[in-house]
Amino acid sequence: MKTYSIEIQKVKSMANSHGLINIRIDAIVAPQSTRHNPDDEGEPQTVLSLTEDNARVMLLLLKAQIAEFDKRKAKSRF
């Protein structure tokens, strides 16, 4: 499995539609070293880095997407 380090430089746009969040970005994608370190067991293999502002925008879109999904779920009758 290939592992990468992804650093988001600029978010051009984010939108949610049809159950997906689409993000247009400028990013630096670099392969990570494949040396296995036993201390890193359970750690993520690919890392995505983004600014706090971009993370907040992504969080708002995720919340909107989850709310849209919750509206479509059948309500309990109890």
Per-residue model confidence as pLDDT tens digits over 28-65: 888 876 665 655 566 656 677 778 888 888 888 888 87
So what's the pLDDT on residue 7?
85
Average pLDDT value over all residues in the chain: 76
Supply the pTM of this predicted model. Answer: 0.52
Helix (H) / strand (E) containing 2: none
Sequence-ordered list of residues with C-beta below 8 angstroms from that of 27, at least 6 positions apart, any chain: 6, 7, 8, 9
Token pair, residue 58, equals 């992504």
So what's the pLDDT on residue 41?
62
So what's the pLDDT on residue 25?
86
Rounded distance, CA 46 to CA 59, Å?
Answer: 20
